[in-house]
A and B are shown apart, each in its own frame.
Chain A
Amino acid sequence: MTARIPGRDAWAQHGFFRAHKYLIVRRLTQLGVLALFLTGPLAGIWIAKGTLSASLTFDLLPLTDPFVLLQSLAARHWPETTALTGVAIVIGFYLVFGGRTFCSWACPVNPVTDLAAWLRRRLGVEKGFSMRREARWLVALAVLAASAATGTIAWELINPVTLIYRVALFGTLAGLAVVVAVFVFDLVVARGGWCGHVCPVGTAYALIGKATLLRVSARGRVRCDDCLDCFAVCPENHVIAPALRGRDGAGPVIASADCTVCGRCVDVCPERVFSLTHRFDTRVDAAVPPPPSAAGRPAPAALEKV
């Protein structure tokens, strides 16, 4: 028996584009963000300067990474207004647009760890070393402690997020070693280990994500036929169950700040259970008779009651 390939059913029923919509748009966004920085060094058209740690777009819009600024504060440096303005803009943006959306839509490490996760699924690599969800908070605290103790912005020494940008924009090639290490870590050591359990940059965005507006909702959860495709593709699949199963009267919105709003669950679900919405959207679709395509799988009647 061949293993089920997540997303194939959605592809068959809804066509390639609808089964890959968010994936395609996300890859284009990631490339687009990099392109804004690359046009300068490559073609002399300067749109965004700097890297993802701090940048200046059109010589007007300053942006600063929140975790970089946190480390600077831990190292007892009070930054200039430009950096503070930049971090305020970033926090404001992600308070609306999803917190860890940075991780899935802008961060250049995402394609690397996504590739590792995809290879894992295809090669059938065991789940591997299991790490606690809380690990990421402890790592972030440990990094801040290291910054405070040494009086340096410590994470930027090895931060793959900005290292990739420096490799691409400034040609500092040795940084690729860290990126390869992250890939191997995710492929061999722990499933979704880097982005989900280690990276403190993402942890800072997860903090913003606790109050952010943009969320994924399992609005069509009555249609769920337990194919588990969403669990297979989700990089943070513990976030799905509460909203999808609706136990103890849980709402349909995926509330966990770990959710990166990557939209992969929206893509791969053959029953179109998921959609992007705001966090106060409590609408739930009414039960409908099973569509013909669901024949041969457990009938919706077998679902847990909402």
Chain B
Amino acid sequence: MATDSDPKTPTRRRFVQGTLRTAVGAGACGLGLGLFAAQSRSLPADALRPPGALPEDRFLSACVRCGLCVRACPYDTLKLADLGAGPAAGTPYYKARNIPCEMCEDIPCAKACPTGALDKHIGDIATARMGVAVIVSRDTCLNLQGLRCDVCYRVCPVIDKAITLEQTHNRRTGKHAVFEPVVRPDACTGCGKCEKSCVLAEAAIKVLPIKIAVGHQDAHYRRGWEEKTKAGHELVPGIIDLPDRLPEMKP
């Protein structure tokens, strides 16, 4: 017979079931949210973060999605991500091909951030690293066909540092030059003006997240020629330096 002291009373069973259901329900909520959050961590390659943004994995722990940076942007560059738009919902981003970053000297967006997701102490906008421009389409870039487009080079706010024109031989005509735009990742801010102004229907130069665009050499790699200069002498004594035989050095 079921009484109140009987451990198998319906009351007690209901309590245990209710507690279990609540715990499982809350756990499922947390798990679902966690999986969704984990998925939201991947930023689309064409979405760029504002200047001074922490690296993407730390950015999402700091950005409260208040939109104060978006409000501070005078050029309507920054947008807040809609649910399902790609970047984590509510986080600020911009697409270079739509409206690139104008690289304001006072960096109002970073100054507006209340949490430090954007570093307000970034100082010089030229040190911002929002991404890196990459010539993604050598087959369609007009300059690489031997034409003089030069638009990406001309609009670059860090002209001759972030993008340089390297003169090479035009192998198609045999007698002209190719002025190849070359991006220097150590000077490129990723503002996206080059991508925005590329005259092609689909830009031949695109700004990509640094993580995708820039490789990294392991710390144990040493460049012999640099180590030699640092040491001031041969690192391995006794190696015979044979003469370099170049065409113009005909005996």
Contact = CB atoms under 8 A, between A and B. Distances in A.
Nearest to A132: B22
Interface string A154-183: 111110001100100110111101100000
B66 interface: yes
Contacts of A78: 116
A55 B66 contact: yes
Interface string B63-105: 1111110110000000111111100111000000000000000
A4 interface: no
B80 A172 contact: yes
Contacts of B36: 154, 157-158
B61 A40 contact: no
B140 to A, nearest CB: 34
B193 to A, nearest CB: 25
B18 interface: yes
Interface in A285-301: none
Interface stretch (B25-33, B126-134, B205-213, B226-234): B25-33
B83 A177 contact: yes
In which size bucket is the chain A interface? Answer: 35 or more
A138 B66 contact: no
Contact of B37 (A50, A77, A83, A146): A146
Given A80-B115, A153-B63, A154-B33, A175 B83 contact: yes
A259 B218 CA distance: 58
Given A83-B115, A156-B90, A53 B64 contact: yes
B90 A157 contact: yes
B114 A64 contact: yes
Nearest to B89: A157
Contacts of B18: 132
A166 B67 contact: yes
B83 A172 contact: yes
B151 interface: no
A152 B37 contact: yes
A174 B85 CA distance: 9
Nearest to A173: B82
Nearest to B120: A80
A147 B120 CA distance: 24
Contact of B22 (A51, A134, A143, A169): A134
B68 A145 contact: no
Given A139-B29, A149-B34, A79 B82 contact: no
**Interface range on chain B (Cβ under 8 Å from partner):** 35 or more
B113 A169 contact: no
A87 to B, nearest CB: 10
Give the one of B26, B84, B117 with max A CB within 10 A: B26
A80 B29 contact: no
A39 B191 CA distance: 31
A175 B41 CA distance: 18
A166 B65 contact: yes
Given A54-B115, A149-B34, A156 B89 contact: yes
A83 B114 contact: yes
Contacts of A173: 82
Contacts of B34: 145-146, 149-150, 154
B33 A142 contact: yes
A175 B22 contact: no
A72 B114 contact: no
Contact of A153 (B29, B60, B83, B112): B60
A241 interface: no
Contact of B60 (A62, A68, A75, A138): A75
A56 interface: yes
Interface string A195-228: 0001000000000000000000000000000000
Contact of B19 (A49, A64, A132): A132
B166 interface: no
Contacts of A69: 64
A56 B68 contact: yes
Interface of A: 40, 46, 49-51, 53-56, 62, 64-65, 68-69, 72, 75-80, 82-83, 86, 131-132, 134-135, 138-139, 141-143, 145-147, 149-158, 162-163, 166, 169-170, 172-175, 177-178, 198
Interface of B: 18-19, 22-23, 25-27, 29-31, 33-34, 36-38, 40-41, 57-58, 60-68, 70-71, 79-85, 88-90, 112-117, 120
16 contacts: A50-B67, A54-B115, A68-B64, A72-B64, A79-B62, A80-B113, A82-B114, A86-B114, A146-B30, A147-B37, A152-B37, A154-B37, A157-B40, A157-B83, A170-B67, A175-B82
